[in-house]
Amino acid sequence: MSASFGNVESLRVLESIASVCTGCGLSEGRTNVVFSSGSPDASVMVVGEGPGRQEDEEGIPFVGRSGQLLVKLFGEIGLERGDIYITNVVKCRPPNNRDPKPDEIDACKPYLRRQIELVDPAVVVTVGNFSSKLLLTTTTGITRLRGSAYEWWGRYLVPTFHPAAALRGGERVTNEIREDLMLVRDIIDGRISPDAEPDDDLEPESGTPPEQSEQIPLFGRDQ
């Protein structure tokens, strides 16, 4: 059974617990636990997948090339790196940047849940397929999920492409991230109402392998 941190009252204490976590095998290969960066009072929280090599070395999320692009794109909507709370689904680097495994996500999920509760952002931005599908508990891929703001556990969730996809995919993907971040700006400026619930009008992607469609709810009833 994974830990519950519902009684941990500050992000600082939660981070100190995470810094010595051995809850899954990823702890064996890490250089640093990559817990978060940015403001604990942020209105916007970014959730990525997991630290890469540079993040593992520095102990800070999204400091590599894709992170620099992400920060630049947030800058275009008037938010600096320090204005946003940035974290990942898993806090330790998966070897060779592979996807986190279900037991690793399970072990790390209580940290993410408590981070969301304590930061209490107006909007959570999931970057990439992995965190978007996980938090929205859907098998629908990011290409179809993006472009909308979803009502999510008393706040909004805006899924967008991972900046690494923009580095590969060029201006079209970058511009779609820009569009999604305009939704974020609209939410924090009070100009938006959510336009879709993922389960209502989105079908699972066809061809999704069964093991990928198995979702681990972050805030499910049994959590």
Q: Which residues bind ligand URA (CB under 6 A)?
A: 48-52, 55, 61-62, 64, 66-67, 88
Least gap, CB of 105 to ligand URA (angstroms): 13
Euclidean distance between the first and final Cα of the chain, in Å? 10
CB of 222 to ligand URA, least distance (A): 27
Q: How far is the CB of 50 from ligand URA (least distance, A)?
A: 6
Residue in 134, 153, 150 with CA at minimum distance from that of residue 200: 150
Angle, in degrees to the nearest 10, between helices 171-188 and 65-76: 50
Please report how close the Cβ of residue 60 comes to ligand URA at its closest, in angstroms: 8
Q: Which residue has the tokens 């999604």?
A: 180
**Residue 53 CB contacts under 8 Å (≥ 6 apart), including other chains:** 64, 93, 97
Distance (Å, rounded) from C-alpha 52 to C-alpha 57?
9
Of 74 and 193, the one with the shorter C-beta distance to ligand URA is: 74
Question: Which residue is nearest to ligand URA, using beta carbons?
Answer: 48
Minimal distance in Å, beta carbon 98 to ligand URA?
Answer: 12
* Shortest CB 9 distance to ligand URA, Å: 26
Give dist(CA 143, CA 174) in Å, integer.
Answer: 13
3-state DSSP of 53-110: HHHHHHCCCCCCHHHHHHHHHHHHCCCCHHHCEEEECCCCCCHHHCCCCHHHHHHHHH
